[in-house]
Amino acid sequence: MVVALPHAIRDDLDAYKTALAQYDRAAKHLSDVDDGVLMFMKYPRREFTVNFPVRRDNGTMEMFTGYRVHHNTALGPTKGGLRFSLGVTLDEVRALAMWMTWKCALVNIPYGGAKGGVVVDPRTLSQRELENLTRRYATELVPLISPQMDIPAPDMGTNPQVMAWIMDTYSMTVGYSVPAIVTGKPIGIGGSHGRTQATGRGVIVIMEAALAKHNLTNPADIRIAIQGFGNVGSNAALYAEELGYKVVAVSDVEGGIYNPNGLDIKGVINHMHNTGTAVGYLDAEPVGNSALLELPCDVLIPAALEGQITEKNAEEIQAKFIIEGANGPTTPEADDILNERGVFIVPDILANAGGVIVSYFEWVQDLQAFFWDETEVFNRLVRIMGDAFERTYATATDKQVDMRTAAQITAIKRVADVITTRGFYP
């Protein structure tokens, strides 16, 4: 028996339209960049779609669709995560690859942007089925990936074990071990200390920089709400709690919890490990994912999916700071409303860059076969993210634009300068 291809179960969130709209806003401030270069940077360099079979445990064969998009390679090999989700679409992957290009350029690491994914709910697969799907998808990607060409990493629905299977599949194909083919691996096979915590920790590093610019330096006075309690949201919450901030609300795909006096984040994580969700945690009241965005708080961290903050709810958001842990959580229309209201938004390509920065560290360590301890990793992470924030803030001040536009101006200009220097082949 052959099962037909699965289809995405959510409406397309127009992530690519959002990415292009953001790009166009920034490009208006780059009058010194050739129009041809600006046009060139809007298009992905290459797009890959594959349909492949996976045998299920019951003997049936099921077909799956996967994607990989390389947006730009001017700065170096492409870098970007792999998603296993029923919500994966080609337009979403295009948008995420484009954002990765700007993210890498903004924090000054030598990568272009890429993204990939498979249309699948990994929770419906056994461990053997998940391994079979991963290895088959990795085999299809072999012509596109290498340590010098494209280096995948984990994202929604994937994890270090998935990266280990991809590394092993690629290594078996070429005939020797290649740790640098992916990042986000287990430490025992070439992973980096600090990689799991990096994105969430970086969100809080950037939050502190933003608060300091507004003379808000007492953590005990700051209330944080976090939408999305996966790897990014949970690690952001843990680090914020460690620093003395009050995390008042968190949510996952099942719903959220709220305690105006602050949550015990370690207790919430233990509850999640036991039940699979934050919902039902006793020392809190229930709150929906959408309602969480509108709770009274000082800092809102959207760390779930794209398109969560729109023109429909932007007026209701009470936070004075939004630090984007997710990619593309705010639409351009919502940006306009929030900026008009004076909300300070730190965009995704800056706020959640901690993951790709430490992925870069992992790649460098693998190529050198020389590894760093966690303290060195985090010290380097803080320095790079702090420098990127200061550059972006200076651009925003100089050009009198919001932080998102400033971040994109800074990143796009760097890529444009490199393209102009290299020239067009042939």
Q: Assess whether pLDDT exceeds 90 at residue 117.
A: yes
**Element (H or E) spanning 66, and its range?**
strand 61-70
Model pLDDT, residue 113: 98
pLDDT greater than 90 at residue 11: no
Helix (H) or strand (E) holding 136: helix 127-141
Domain ranges of the chain: 2-19+42-179, 196-351
Choice among 115, 185, 246, 413 that is catalytic:
115
Angle at the Cα of 336 (from 44 to 105), degrees rounded to 5?
A: 35
80 bridge partner residues? 152
Q: What is the mean pLDDT of residues 226-234?
A: 94
* Residue 88 identity: V
The answer on pLDDT for 8 being more than 50 is: no
Bridge partner residues of 376 (DSSP):
none
The percent of residues above 70 in pLDDT, for the chain, comes to 97
- pLDDT at residue 7, rounded to an integer: 40
Same topology between domain 2-19+42-179 and domain 196-351: yes
Q: How large a percentage of the chain has pLDDT more than 90? A: 93
**Burial classification of residue 289, based on how many CB atoms lie within 10 Å of its CB (0-12 exposed, 13-18 middle, 19 or more buried):** middle
User: Tens digit of pLDDT for each residue in 122-179?
Assistant: 999 999 999 999 999 999 999 999 999 999 999 989 999 999 999 999 999 999 999 9
Nearest alpha carbon to residue 240 among 143, 329, 321, 149: 321
Mean pLDDT of the chain: 94
**Phi, psi (degrees; rounded to nearest 5) at 129:** -65, -40
For 180-201, the pLDDT digits (tens) are 999 999 999 999 999 999 999 9
Q: How confident is the model at residue 275 (pLDDT cuts 50, 70, 90)?
A: very high
Superfamily of domain 196-351: NAD(P)-binding Rossmann-like Domain (3.40.50.720)
pLDDT at 14: 81
What class, spelled out in words, does domain 2-19+42-179 have in CATH? Answer: alpha beta
Residue 83: the pLDDT is 96
pLDDT at 421: 97
Pure H helices in 142-225: 160-174, 195-213
Name the nearest CA neighbour of 276 among 118, 123, 120, 117: 123
Indicate the SS3 state at residue 267.
helix
Contact 225, 300 (CB under 8 A): yes
What does DSSP assign to residue 6? P
pLDDT in tens, 327-370: 899 999 999 999 999 999 999 999 999 999 999 999 999 999 99
Task: Transcribe 68-109 into DSSP letters.
Answer: EEE---SSSSEEEEEEEETT--HHHHHHHHHHHHHHHHHTT-
Q: Which residues contact 146 (CB under 8 A, 6 or more apart)?
A: 77, 178, 181
115 assigned to active site: yes
What does each C-alpha distance from 70 to 51, 113, 137, 243, 377 come to in angstroms?
A: 18, 6, 16, 38, 27
- Judged against a pLDDT cut of 80, whether residue 424 lies above it is answered with yes
Please state, in angstroms and rounded to a whole number, the distance separating the CA atoms of residues 286 and 308.
19
